[in-house]
Amino acid sequence: MLRLPNLFRLLALAALVAFLVQPQWFEPLLRPLVQENAPAIYNQGSLLQLTLLHLRTVAIATAGATVVALALAILVTRTSGAEFLPLSRSLVNIGQTFPPVAVLALAVPIFGFGEKPTLIALFLYGLLPIFENALTGLTTLPQSTMEAARGTGMTGRQRLLKIELPLAMPVILAGIRLSVVISLATATIGSTVAARTLGEVIIAGLQSNNLAFVVQGGLIVAVLAVLIHDALQAAERSLGSRMGR
């Protein structure tokens, strides 16, 4: 039995795929947003290809941020690494407070135009939610469970891999989810430095005063963000419910 929210999600997904594959079907809907003679559907490249590139950029940046943030969180929650906690906290916080636009501006002279500056900006911006959530997850494990893990004779590494990470996983996933959603939206500004993302559509719309372009670029990003957010949340829930949370 399909529940109502899932039905909406399925419809949204279907509409998104249809729009990406056959955008001209939606032309009548977008037509009222543009002046005579102006195109209502983005015509400077394939929307599907841009979407896939957009997703690829977000995926690479988030994967990098996850690896680094998780490694940092693991390091500072070991007794040997506890002294690095304040340092890594401030490093990660700097990544978050530094505006992505400023990162782009600084990175372009070094790495040139294209995808790289965007990846760096998204990577830095995505670190904090993952790091903070991983830290929370790893430091709020049930005391008796950790005691039992030591008592059964697990080594530090076995405790980390078999007990701590699996138990903290729902909270870590929540951090990754936040980071992905932020990155999906933020990636659009990468197109100001010629990264190939859905930002191209929005920027093209802004430059030619074409509201339809802006709306379709924005909507694709928004629908992607909502669907990915919900999918990751469902994964967290199924992990969590197994543990009786």
Partner 1 sequence: MIEIEGITKRYGETTVVRDVSLTIAPRTVTVIVGTSGSGKTTLLRMINRLVEPTSGTIRLDGEDNRSLPGYELRRRIGYAIQGHGLFPHRTVAQNIATVPTLLGWDRARIDAKVAELLTLFQLDPAAFGPRYPHELSGGQQQRVGVARALAAEPKVLLMDEPFGALDPIIRAKAQDDLLAIQKHFETTIVLVTHDMEEAFHLADRIAVMDKGEVVQYTTPAEMLVKPATGFVESLIGAGERPFRLLAIETVATAVEPGTAEGKAISSAVSQREALSTLLWSGRKALPVVGPDGVLIGKVSLDGLAQRAAGRS
Report the interface residues with partner 1, using CB under 8 A.
Answer: 142, 144-145, 147-155, 158, 163, 166-167, 242-244
- Token pair in block for residue 230: 């919900």
Least CB distance from residue 147 to partner 1, whole Å?
6
DSSP string, 205-226: HHHTT-HHHHHHHHHHHHHHHH
The residue to which tokens 């690479």 are assigned: 60
Least CB distance from residue 159 to partner 1, whole Å?
9
Least CB distance from residue 83 to partner 1, whole Å?
19
Q: Which one, 45 or 166, has the nearer CB to partner 1?
A: 166
Q: Which one, 155 or 208, has the nearer CB to partner 1?
A: 155
Q: Which one, 44 or 152, has the nearer CB to partner 1?
A: 152
Least CB distance from residue 169 to partner 1, whole Å?
8
Least CB distance from residue 152 to partner 1, whole Å?
5
Q: Which one, 35 or 144, has the nearer CB to partner 1?
A: 144
In the chain, alpha helices (H): 4-21, 27-30, 47-77, 85-97, 100-111, 115-139, 143-151, 156-158, 165-186, 199-207, 211-242
Q: Which one, 64 or 240, has the nearer CB to partner 1?
A: 240
> How many whole angstroms separate alpha carbon 232 and alpha carbon 210?
34
Least CB distance from residue 244 to partner 1, whole Å?
3
**Phi, psi angle pair for 196, to nearest 5°:** -90, 95
In this structure, how many other beta carbons lie within 10 angstroms of the beta carbon of residue 89?
Answer: 16
Q: Which one, 6 or 155, has the nearer CB to partner 1?
A: 155
In this structure, how many other beta carbons lie within 10 angstroms of the beta carbon of residue 34?
Answer: 19
Least CB distance from residue 79 to partner 1, whole Å?
13
> How many whole angstroms separate alpha carbon 73 and alpha carbon 67?
10
Q: Which one, 46 or 155, has the nearer CB to partner 1?
A: 155
CB 30 within 8 A of CB 42: no
The residue to which tokens 């990636």 are assigned: 187
